[in-house]
Amino acid sequence: MADPSAHPRVEPHLCVIDGAAALAFYQKAFGAKVVMTVPAQDGLRLMHATVQLFGGEILVHDEFPEHRGEGVVRSPFTVRGPSVAINVNLDRADDVDAAMARAVGAGAIVVMEPENTFWNARYGRIQDPFGHVWAFNAPLPDA
């Protein structure tokens, strides 16, 4: 059995339509490293992928509409919108703009332009091509 301390305490598990395209996007947009993939039995979809990015880890899988019932995770497109934003805390205010620009260059859309906030941070949001919202946050330099 793998050492449980080797895994982050919290790992968002993102459901997407077209897992292979999602992995390619996360690599291009966020410099993600795909650590492991497990194809579904149909050979077309992604059962599971472990992806490292921004010093953390997410899990990604394709949607399986043939599975029904309570607790079955669906893509934001199927549920008609995201239900959560994935917050990425960065080191410098300039990193927010750079991360968002890179994501937009890879196909994301801006849903909140980066701005200096009342909580003394640079903050903005994008939506990835798979419907997930990513928020970028970094402290502003001392005035």
d(C-alpha 74, C-alpha 132), whole Å: 11
Domains annotated on the chain, with CATH = 11-63 (3.30.720.100), 85-143 (3.10.180.10)
Report the pLDDT value the prediction gives residue 10, as an integer from 0 to 100.
85
pTM of the model as a whole: 0.92
For all residues of the chain together, what is the average pLDDT? 93
Contact of 59 with 48, CB cutoff 8 Å: yes
Q: Return the number of other C-beta atoms located less than 10 Å from residue 79's C-beta.
A: 12
Residue 136 CB-density burial (10 A; 0-12 exposed, 13-18 middle, 19+ buried) = buried
Q: What is the pLDDT of residues 44-86, one digit of tens each?
A: 999 999 999 999 999 999 999 998 888 889 999 999 999 999 9
Q: What is the pLDDT of residues 6-54, one digit of tens each?
A: 667 788 999 999 999 999 999 999 999 999 999 999 999 999 999 999 9
Tokens 């599971």 appear where?
48
